[in-house]
Amino acid sequence: MSWEGLRRKHYGVIVTDCGTPFDAYSAKGETSRSPQKKYTTMPDDELAALPVGDLAARDCFLFYWDTTARVVAGRHLPIIKAWGFKPTALAFTWLKLIPSASDAIWLPRDLNFGPGFTTRKNTELCILGRRGSPKRLSKSVFEIIISARREHSRKPEEFYSRVMQYAAGPYLELFSRTARRGWDCSGDQLGYFAEAAE
């Protein structure tokens, strides 16, 4: 991932969906749906060594996406702390619907039927981290996002609008695959998806 053009000690909000590999029990378990088959992934120690903290303003929010299995195992904690942030809350829980479902009117049959070694997974989590004393702009931002699944790892547009409602920028998205107006975006697949409308 290129850090060229990113500004040091600048961003009031950093969003990241790190490329973490899926830990399969065997080569057979590593399917075409595994992240490492879709894009570049990095082990946790390499992620923790990235100079993300150098990009953050003195007061900064971090929105850190991870899978439920990794969060339960605490795999996110060393990375977030190494970047200079304190994990403080669950920012968002994305309840994924099948692509053909309506975000406004949906039925249980519309839930995305994801993989899982235990129960079949329907959600993805976004951890909220803080550095310094960043201030929230709005008390009306809800945790649950109910939105259809898109391409592998692509987050719903509603997530970005809620982040901007919750916190002031400047905004940065790391490991991004979509250019976004009003945001600095960086990632080795930037431009893979069309530029966001907002």
For the record, the structure tokens of 42 come out as: 């990095």
pLDDT band at 97 (very low <50, low <70, confident <90, very high): confident
Q: What is the SS3 assignment for 141?
A: coil
Q: Which two tokens stand for residue 61?
A: 């929010």
Residue 136 has, within 13 A of its CA and on its CB side, a CA count of 12
* Residue 87 pLDDT: 96
Residue 89 has pLDDT above 50, yes or no: yes
Residue with tokens 């931002």: 141
DSSP structure class, residue 78: H
Measure the CA–CA gap between 6 and 12, rounded to whole angstroms.
Answer: 13
**Of the given ranges (31-45, 132-146, 170-184), which has the lowest mean pLDDT?**
31-45
| Overall average pLDDT of the 58-69 stretch | 94
Rounded distance between C-alpha atoms, residue 164 and residue 57, angstroms? 16
Amino acid at 65: W
CB atoms within 10 A of CB 116: 12
Instruction: Say yes or no to pLDDT of 180 above 60.
Output: yes
Question: In terms of pTM, does the model score above 0.75?
Answer: yes
* Residue/partner pairs of 74-83 with CB below 8 Å, 24 or more apart: 75/20, 75/44, 76/127, 78/44, 78/48, 79/18, 79/44, 79/47, 79/48, 80/127, 80/129, 82/48, 82/49, 82/53, 83/48, 83/50, 83/52, 83/53, 83/56, 83/129
